[in-house]
Homo-oligomer: A and B are copies of this chain.
């Protein structure tokens, strides 16, 4: 039994810091590094890669829509070709910077609205998978279990990783409950740790209606932008390890 712990990092921009990257690095095994379109800039990318390397954390690209003010969280009706182009550009930029540090990218996780749109839209999912496969067939593509992104990755011959969220409620069909819904975010740290352990050990989670559903879990996302994120990350890692689960990157 094993799990990868990933987190979105490198989301500072110019004079504006964001997140607790240094503190989180101690708990995670994979870093999704912003590539300058929704967050991050060339200098932040460099320091984040160096920080990940120093902590033995695997590095992945975290490409998003070119929408700084909206932080890549707003859906933009882009064509598959536009999405393929912007994903390839961002992966390439990050991979090149990583290469100068002797770091090879492990994975790609789309950000925000792009991730959510590609979970449902086969055309966009294929566009992302094409960009990843064209750049490097060895990259692992992250996505929601059973989402269009996962099947697109498989079609493109990529290794894929099913991503789960221990602090988010699930619908009975296995999709994430909308953040608008009451109870969609779980704020009790102990409950989050327990859910994480059950997700990894039993491939199960209690959905928002109380039913038990099963789901794949290759990597678990630790949110970095909430207060107390670093402390929760430590608790989750400690809880998983205490339960006999190996915490390790995917590669």
Contacts and interface: CB of A to CB of B under 8 A. Distances in A.
A93 interface: yes
A57 to B, nearest CB: 20
Interface string A47-76: 000000000000000000011111100111
A50 to B, nearest CB: 12
A41 B93 CA distance: 13
Nearest to A11: B15
Contacts of A94: 92
Given A16-B16, A77-B75, A92-B96, A69 B41 contact: yes
A152 to B, nearest CB: 17
A10 interface: no
Interface centre among A18, A42, A74, A78 (most CB of B within 10 A): A42
Interface residues of A, number: 44
Interface stretch (A22-30, A82-90, A192-200, A242-250): A82-90
A207 interface: no
Given A85-B42, A88-B42, A89-B45, A135 B96 contact: yes
B14 A69 contact: yes
A229 interface: no
Contact of A75 (B76, B81, B89): B76
A57 B78 CA distance: 31
Interface string A85-107: 11011111111110110000000
Nearest to A17: B16
Nearest to A15: B71
Given A74-B76, A96-B95, A86 B42 contact: yes
Contacts of A46: 85, 88
Contacts of A14: 68-71
A129 to B, nearest CB: 13
B96 A89 contact: yes
B93 A89 contact: yes
Q: What 8 pairs between A and B have smallest CB-CB spacing?
A: A92-B96, A16-B16, A42-B85, A14-B69, A100-B134, A42-B89, A75-B77, A15-B71
Given A14-B70, A43-B85, A88-B96, 8 more contacts: A14-B69, A16-B18, A42-B86, A70-B82, A89-B96, A92-B99, A93-B96, A100-B134
